[in-house]
Structure 1
Amino acid sequence: MATSHLPDRMSTTPLPEGTPQVCVARQPIMDLKNQVFGYELLYRAAFGDTSWAGGPGDQASARVLNDALLSLGLETLTSGKFAFLNVSHQVLLQDVVTVLPPEGIVVELLENIPATPEVEDACRSLQKRGYAIALDDFTPGCPAEALLPYAKYVKIDLLSTPPDQFAPLASRLLKSKLRLLAEKVETAEALKIASQAGCTLFQGYYFCKPTTYARGTMAPRKLAYLRLLAALNRPNVTVGSLEEIIKQDASFSYRVLRSANSAAFGLRQTVRSIHEALILIGQDRVRKWASIWAMAGMSDGVTPELVNITILRARCCELLGQSSTLTQEGSDHFLLGLCSLLDVILGKPMNLALEDLPLSTETRAALLGGDNPERHILDAVTAYERGAFEAAANAAAHGGVDADMLPDAYASALKWVWSLARSQAA
């Protein structure tokens, strides 16, 4: 399968001149097996753009269907999973969503949409044309009760729904053959409550938090990959040393050669050895690939989405770090993002998880919660991925990064991650 070249610097498909940027992030929606079912697209106007400052309303909903999808592509935004798209009252009535094919799309109706005859007609029309509809923030007795016959998914906010109402509401909706999605699921206990009530989809970052820390020695496989990660990122590692490190793991060698020979690079010659790959593709790029694979190798027992998030953070932190006025050139911002969930992946407190990694003083302090520019860059990335765009902008400023860099950095990171995944699947 042909793929685009993996960029070293930030790049996105340009929109027409004069088009304001759109802040777009994605939040995973997980199933009962802790696999990604889809992503809700979170969006707003770019920082400083006041042309539609009302949040995800009419113009914002139309803009994300146009600008964000045009610049990134739906497949890149969702990695081929379902896309839950927020739709406002007017956008629903204007039939804007039908510019996209119904496959892979879930039309999410905001909770403030009135259940007028016109809205019911629009929902009926979408349903007939094969579009799945989700009702957002559903509560007992809300106007959206009238829209239940057209819905396939119903989203219930676990935090705002009184505990004594959650299970009865879920039970009633399940009788109508609706699929229930619990929102604001932030802990393992919340996940248990929602699943016992009959929810089969979950939105929240419960899987990014450690439930318990493992005692005793680390599993040999995880320990081996942790040592590989440390060896790969030693300061001033030579090409020869890096070649020997990669050769220690047959799967690493195979992946390096497969990636190097993929259509992504368009090389005129077949790469037959790790040494050739390091010379032709570049030592830094191969080292990043191998670091990602080492992280994936340590992730037994956790959802694969956890690794996807760390890779996205790694690339995004790297791009923002390149433009920071407060961090040193060549700082290990890539590792900053890549190791940001290492405590969850290894089941160890972060200070122990980082013990054997050759991190800079600044990066180690940032990962342990210290107050430095590196930490602010990581905070900007984690806030942005959750759709907390103002908090992301504030953190970026404290990290010496212009907030206007955030949309491009996140978009470019998404493209890089998707291209890397496709090159591996080729």
Structure 2
Amino acid sequence: MFAFIARQPILDRDKDVFAYELLFRDGKGGTFPEPPSEKAKGLIEQFNPLGLDDLSAEKKSFISFSAETLVSRFPTNLNPEQVVVELGENPYKESGLREACEHIKQLGFKLALDDPMMLSGNHEALPLVDIVKVDISKIRLEQAHKRISQFTDANVQLIANNVNDYDVFNDCRDLGFDFFQGYFFASPTARIAREIPASKMSLVELMGESSSEKFDLSRINGIIERDAALSYLLLKFINNPTVNKRYKITSLKHALTYMGEVEIKKFIALLSLTHLGSDKPLELIHMSLVRAKFFDLLTQHRKRQTNPPIGFLVGLFSLLDALLDQDMLDIVKQLPLTDTVNDALLGKSSEFNHYLSLVRAFESALWMNVIKQSKALDTDQKLLHSLYNQAIVWGNSVRATISSHYPRPLLN
């Protein structure tokens, strides 16, 4: 596959990840790129190419193809169980494209049509497609309501695209949309000035310990031992093969000896965040994990402070406003974090402002912004892609560790 890819989650009605759409930097409009040149192949090999399993974490991958690629160069190595083929234009536009799509369907692939205005509801192409993607920013919900039965009657599933707040998500779910693409889950449902519940204060204490320059093992042990679930998950994290492939860790003290205090600080911060946001979609935690690892790798590359692991903490906590449905200013007043972390979370750090702009560019496939931030940080773009890819793989692995112990979010 290709190293220069962004991914965007597609969630189901329960706010669980159904699939990831993959957007390719080297393809026009994010489509699957043309076969790379020899020079491009060398760059791909050098900068950490990823497979679909690495990118999509065993979820389906939506991949958009140009008509020309579908007709003459459709890649034969893709698995129809993993990939949904996305079309950017009506497959009945020309006979060659229709025949290619019919052949792709015979191979076992599902077809998704990107139809922003729901125009295909009256079109002969509808029986050929399995999923239609609708740009909610380009159509009135009243208009969608009138047309939605045409799709459901044809047994076609609908994706609402550009769903960027919970009100729109709820409206689209009520209308009957099956899936939702957009970062609505990474925004607060309602910003309410309230205190963190007393039942979660042990998590707050752990967050404070993770950002402290000192390391008080007995204090941390005392906090974790109060909560059997925290103790269990800590050992699950530390014995994750991504982190520790050689030794069975049996206690926090053992982990400290083996891993060192910086890594332990990362994990207690991660534990805190996981439990603090236990009523939110798991994908929100997943985004926080990827950001944490990306910021951590970038901080190390730029030789910034690593104990406490400031980059990791800022990335991990960068979505706290969505996790807690509060303004970040109200949140940091309640957390015993260092001034460095607080300033970064409040947008007062030039260094971390660049990091946040960069990670948002990767999340949304805003490639020109990636170029802009790479110049601002004086860091090679290809290296930034490589670091982000590493963060995705790490985030997928940690997500797999916590997912079986993570409560399903309540429908709002």
**Does 2:57 align with 1:79?**
yes
Rounded to whole Å, the distance in 2 between the matches of 1:329 and 1:70 is 24
* AA partner of residue 32 (structure 1): R
Counterpart in the other structure of 2:313: 335
Superposed CA offset, 1:125-156 (max 9, x none): 12122111100134354699443222110001
2:19 maps to which of 28, 38, 46:
38
Rounded to whole Å, the distance in 2 between the matches of 1:62 and 1:143 is: 37
Partner of 2:70: 92
Structure 1: which amino acid aligns with 2:233? R
**Cα distance, 1:362 vs. partner?**
4.0
Whether contact under 8 Å (1:332, 1:360) holds in the other structure is: no
How far 1:307 moved relative to its partner?
0.7
What is the CA–CA distance in structure 1 between the aligned matches of 2:194 and 2:165, rounded to whole Å? 24
Equivalenced residue count is 398
**Pair 1:37–1:171, CA change in 2 (3 A):** same
Q: 1:344 to 1:425 in 2, by over 3 A?
A: closer
Cα pair 2:121 2:151 within 8 Å, conserved: no
- Give me the CA root mean square deviation: 3.2
- The SS at the match of 2:253 is helix
Secondary structure in structure 2 of the residue aligned to 1:25: strand
Deviation per CA, 1:100-141: give whole Å up to 9, x if none.
111121111123767211111111112122111100134354
Given the superposition, is the C-alpha separation of residues 301 and 253 from structure 1 closer, same or farther in structure 2, using an over 3 Å criterion? closer
Distance 2:81 2:189 in 1: 36
Is contact 1:26-1:41 (8 Å) kept? Answer: yes
Query: Which has the larger share of helix?
Result: 2
Alignment of structure 1 residues 223-234 onto 2, 5 Å: 223-234=201-212
CA distance in 2, matches of 1:399, 1:24: 20
TM-superposed CA distance for 1:275, in Å, is 0.9
* Corresponding residue for residue 107 of structure 2: 129
**Equivalent residues of 1:140, 1:169 under 8 A apart:** yes
Does structure 1 conserve the Cα–Cα contact (< 8 Å) formed by 2:3 and 2:389?
A: no
Asked if 1:59 corresponds to 2:33, the answer is yes
CA shift, 1:239, in A, is 4.3
Q: Which residue of 2 aligns with 1:5?
A: none
Secondary structure at the counterpart of residue 138 of structure 2: coil
What's the secondary structure of 1:72's corresponding residue?
A: coil
Q: Deviations over 1:310-337 (max 9, x none)?
A: 1111111111222337x55656011111
Question: How far apart, in 1, do the equivalents of 2:217 and 2:113 lie?
Answer: 55
Distance 1:371 1:237 in 2: 25
Post-superposition CA distance 1:139-192 (Å, at most 9, x none): 354699443222110001011224553222323222211000011111222223
In structure 2, stretches of 5+ residues that fail to align are 405-412
Separation (CA, whole Å) in 2 of partners of 1:371 and 1:140: 44
* Deviates further, 339-348 or 246-255: 246-255
Distance in 2 (alpha carbons) for counterparts of 1:314 and 1:289: 11
CA distance in 1, matches of 2:63, 2:270: 30
Q: Which amino acid aligns with 1:31?
A: D
Q: Name the structure 2 match of 1:202.
A: 180
Q: Is residue 2:326 matched to residue 1:352?
A: no
Q: Where does the alignment leave 5 or more consecutive residues of structure 1 unmatched?
A: 1-14, 16-20, 46-51
TM-score of the aligned structures, taking structure 2 as reference length: 0.86
Greater Cα offset, 190-199 or 129-138:
190-199
Deviation at 1:257, TM superposition (A): 3.0
| Contact 2:32-2:63 at 8 Å conserved across structures | no
Confirm whether residue 253 of structure 1 aligns to residue 231 of structure 2: yes
- Judged with a 3 Å threshold, the aligned counterparts in structure 2 of structure 1 residues 218 and 366 are, in CA distance, closer, same or farther, namely closer
The residue aligned with 1:272 is 250
> How far apart, in 2, do the equivalents of 1:61 and 1:190 lie?
39
Distance 2:25 2:116 in 1: 22
Indicate the residue corresponding to 2:265 in structure 1: 287
Match of 1:158 among 136, 144, 163: 136
